[in-house]
Chains A and B, each alone.
Chain A
Amino acid sequence: MIEVILIFPLIACLILFFIKSKKLNDFALISYSIFHLFISITLYLKKINLEISTTKLFGAYFSIDSLNILFLLILSVIFAGVAFYNKSYFKNTDRSDKAHTYYSIAILLFIFSMTGTILSANLALSWVFIEATTLASAYLIYFNKTKHALEAAWKYVFICSIGIALAFVGIILLSIGTGSINSLFFNDLYINAGKIVPFWLKLSFVFILVGFGTKMGLAPVHAWLPDAHSEAPSPVSALLSATLLNSAFLIILRFYKLMELTHLDHFAKILLVSMGLLSLFVTAVFVFNINNYKRMLAYSSIENMGIIAIGIAVGGLGIYAAMLHLLAHSLIKSSFFLTAGNILKQFKIKKISEISGILKQDKPTGWLWIACFVGIAGIPPSPLFLSEFLLLKAMIERDQIPLAIIFAILLTIIIFGIGKSVIKMSFGDVYKHENIVNKLSLGMYIPQIVFITASLILGICVPAFINQIINNAALAVSIT
């Protein structure tokens, strides 16, 4: 029954390809999202009941453990929201049935490959799936078929393919280092960690970090991210930001655990912190003068991935904070991108300087826009406040006070940069535009409201079962 989570989208794609009807496309997406959520929750409950750390699917190639269940649940929840939004997003557009079908097929394949990445228990297999995410989402980014979309799609496919190819070099270097262990299963690697030659392991970590870091959006290999996020349709941007970056991060995390087991974590931590800080720095520099709100959100994703990387590197409480940050960022950022979709639908423009008075134009969108900002800025009661606070605490506990100071300063700059634009866009009077759409359907508000409410609850008091999931995931990463 569980294997269906991977087989369902493939069959659905075939059916959609031959029938090409908009109604069926929407139905397939929504039913898969509900199904996905259902299976994830089942897997989660089953894991609690059986009290075993891994459940194997499809032989040994896919497995569920306490780390990837968090990622799977995030993927399911975000996908469910996006699928509902997607239906309303395409309601009154004049897309042909064919284009809409290809779009839906690409989304199904995209989710399929992300699910595969998250579930796979083999390093090489997760490589295959990560590369598949690039290929599946190429069409999604190109979907608007403008010159800019074309450019973004080209950069996305090319940069990510090169990055992922470098990650494969890392995998080969690792298999040189593993010597007699003829396996790339994470569990085999963990068990035999002592036998791996440190030189090759270090070398391969560098390649893996750069390779999967490209996909995760860490600076300095983030170049594709702002272009792709800003040119893709909003539901796709939300998926890219809230789920794709996470899945790439999961592989880095699993590899990082290997580094810990071989006591090379000091080396790994230096790399993670420097890439994380660089991501924060790049965001702080670029977000200040940016004039495209979707690019601004994309840079904010780079920033948050940087924070998560730093959290892992700080260790201890920092890992818990990073996991909480991951969950909260996915919820808030996806609703931020979806709200950006609402604004784009109404104003038909991406320039910050030409938009003003969203609150007067459309109250719910305006308030959502502000709520999302409060969430992403880490102002209480946002859960990001909690995670960033815990992260700072972890840094100070570990005597990394200079790091804490730089971290806090960069975050402040970024919040100011984003806040300036958000406030400018939300308040004031509406500039004269010719083609402002007045009414949006209800489906374009509900997913964001649900996500924001969920993150609000998370920020006030982390519910016990979520706390347990995050805690288990954090424990699965740290060995001490």
Chain B
Amino acid sequence: MVNMLIVLFGLTMLYMAATSRIKAHIKMLSIQGLILFLILFLDEDKTNLINLIFLSIETLLVKTILIPLFLTRILNKNEVFRDNEPHIPNFYSLVIASIMLFAGFMISSLHGQGFENVTALYFGVSISTILISLFLITTRKKILTHVIGYIMMENGIFLLSLSVAKEMPVIVSMGVLLDIFIAVFILGFLINKINTAFDELNICELCNLKDCDCND
């Protein structure tokens, strides 16, 4: 069951790579949050109650509901619905993402010294998630997609931290959550500002600071 969920998590990444509608991206983020919650619920040992409750809140409340809602609000406010003309066409990015996911599965079939502390499938899928999100950030042009890529990467890292047999102290995971939450909030705030200052929410607009003479 858990393995199936993890594979599903990997598949959401493929969908992300294939589509250019930002609404669909946000939906996928929400689904990823839900999958993470289910994985946590099915897999985590229930000995440390405080940690479990905290992590459930993090996945269910923050990752599944709050962040997608916030992004949808930004989306509607700024009226960017599609990420047109990425640097690499969607079809090819799907191919590349599939290769990365496949590589992740290959990694998870590795068994060597030191791998006894990590659940292999988690590890492989989370590494490929991080790689795919970095790849998507570099190939897409809309600023909002970049933020979505960043959150995907954080989801991947969350999955990676689940792969380790031991857990972080609550104070640390609280700090991590707080930081990421504020980061998303600040990025959203900046997106709104960029939309008013520049005409388009395109990354190509943000190229005025250079080391040549044309700079101010």
A contacts, CB < 8 Å to B: 61, 122, 124-125, 127-129, 131-132, 134-135, 138, 142, 147-148, 150-155, 157-158, 161-162, 165, 168-169, 172, 175-177, 179, 182, 184, 197, 199-200, 226-227, 230-231, 286, 289-292, 295, 350-351, 353
Give the contacting residue for A157; candidates B153, B180, B186, B198; CB below 8 A: B186
Chain B 28-60 interface 0/1 with A at a Cβ cutoff of 8 Å (1 = within): 000000000000000000000000000000000
Number of inter-chain CB pairs below 8 Å: 122
Chain B min CB distance to A118 (Å): 16
A172 and B161 in contact, given A134-B183, A161-B150 (Cβ under 8 angstroms): yes
Which applies to chain A's interface (DSSP): helix, strand, loop or mixed? helix
Who on chain A is nearest to B215 by CB?
A292
Minimum CB–CB distance from B46 to chain A (whole Å) comes to 18
Q: Is the CB of A158 within 8 A of B150?
A: yes
Chain B residues with a Cβ under 8 A of chain A: 113-114, 116-118, 130, 134, 137, 143, 146, 150, 153-154, 157, 160-161, 163-164, 166, 168-169, 171-172, 175-176, 178-180, 182-183, 186-187, 190, 193-194, 197-198, 206, 208-209, 211-213, 215-216
Q: For A61, what are the chain B residues with a Cβ–Cβ distance below 8 Å? A: 171
Interface centre among A122, A135, A153, A353 (most CB of B within 10 A): A135
In the complex, what distance in Å separates the CA atom of A168 from the CA atom of B156? 11
A292 contacts across to B, CB distance below 8 A: 211, 215-216
Instruction: Verify B172–A122 contact, CB threshold 8 A.
Output: yes
- Docked CA distance A231–B215 (Å): 12
Chain A residues with Cβ under 8 A from B168's Cβ?
124, 175, 184
Shortest B30–chain A CB gap in Å is 20
Instruction: Report yes or no: B157 in contact with A151, Cβ–Cβ below 8 A.
Output: no
Residue of A nearest to B130 (CB): A169
Of the candidates B166, B180, B206, the one whose C-beta lies within 8 Å of that of A182 is B166
- Describe B's contact surface by its main secondary structure: helix
Residues on the B chain within 8 Å of A142, using CB: 190, 193
Q: Is the CB of A169 within 8 A of B157?
A: yes
Q: Looking at the complex, which one of B164, B182, B197 makes contact with A175 (CB distance below 8 Å)?
A: B164
Which residue of B157, B164, B172, B194 is within 8 Å of A165 (Cβ)?
A: B157
Question: Which residue of the partner chain A has the closest CB to B176?
Answer: A128
- In the complex, the answer to whether B183 meets A157 with C-beta atoms within 8 Å is yes
Query: Is the pair A165, B153 in contact by a Cβ cutoff of 8 Å?
Result: yes
A/B interface sample: 11 pairs, CB < 8 A: A61-B171, A124-B172, A125-B175, A131-B180, A132-B179, A147-B197, A162-B150, A165-B157, A175-B166, A176-B118, A176-B164
Quick check: B211 and A131 within 8 Å, CB to CB? no
Chain A residues in 8 Å Cβ range of B206 = 151, 154-155
